[in-house]
Amino acid sequence: MPEAGSPIARAFGWLRQQGLSETELNRLNSCTPGEFLLPEGIYVNTGADGVTFSGSGEATLPFVDGRWYLIPAEIVAAHPELRRDPRPVAQAPRLVR
């Protein structure tokens, strides 16, 4: 379970407000910039509060501030609101603080 002061708990409090449990937050998969995206993947970045990003088959995660995480498909299925209005990862340089 992330500690209250951990970077994950601080960065993704907005995901808890959308109903994700601590267990689900612990299941986020850390990603490395430059990795190819999963076409149906939903990604979050610690520097982009409240923003989800959508994957595509021919793109990679951009090098931006913050850490990238893939939300496992079963968590996205349990929380369909995560698929509402995801941004393309190409917009990350403008959205990540």
Beta strands in 1-97 (DSSP E): 29-31, 42-45, 53-54, 68-71, 87-88
Task: State pLDDT tens for residues 22-49.
Answer: 889 989 999 999 999 999 999 999 999 9
pTM recorded for the entire structure: 0.89
What are the Cα distances from residue 49, in Å, to 39, 58, 89? 22, 25, 14
Q: Could you tell me if residue 2 is inside a domain?
A: no
Q: Could you tell me if residue 69 is inside a domain?
A: yes
Q: Could you tell me if residue 59 is inside a domain?
A: yes
The number of domains in the chain is: 1
What residue spans of the chain are helical by DSSP H?
7-11, 13-17, 22-26, 73-78, 92-95
Q: Could you tell me if residue 87 is inside a domain?
A: yes
Domain coverage including residue 54: 7-95
Q: For residue 35, which of 63, 65, 7 has the smallest C-alpha distance?
A: 63
Mean pLDDT of the chain: 88
Q: Could you tell me if residue 51 is inside a domain?
A: yes
Structure letter (DSSP) for residue 73: H
